[in-house]
Amino acid sequence: MLGMLFNEKECKELDYVLRKELDEMLLDLSDQRLDHEIRHAIANRYKTVFRMYARFAPSKELSKYARKG
């Protein structure tokens, strides 16, 4: 486990970066033109980034990015 300390500005930036990354991955996951292996890799990465975001995001914000299954 690795710990990090961020100031308020850095926390806001990390929040922004993670949300944008989640948005992009959701867009990619909805693209039916991508083959199954690519979509599976994106889904695995999404889980990791989502767990990172879940550590500090309010539940109302977090629910926007929750996926089924």
For the chain, the farthest-separated pair of C-alpha atoms sits apart, in whole angstroms, at 41
pLDDT over 70 at 69, yes or no: no
| C-alpha 30: how far from chain center | 15
Where along the chain do its domains lie? 8-63
Question: For residue 28, what pLDDT is reported?
Answer: 96
Is this prediction's pTM over 0.85?
Answer: yes
Per-residue buried b or exposed e for 4-32, using 16+ beta carbons within 10 Å of the residue's own CB? eeeeeeeeeeeeeebbebbeebeebbeee
In the numeric block, the tokens 């970066």 are attached to: 17
Residue 56's pLDDT band (cuts 50, 70, 90): confident
Chain segment 6-51, per-residue pLDDT in tens: 999 999 999 999 999 999 999 999 999 999 999 999 999 999 999 9
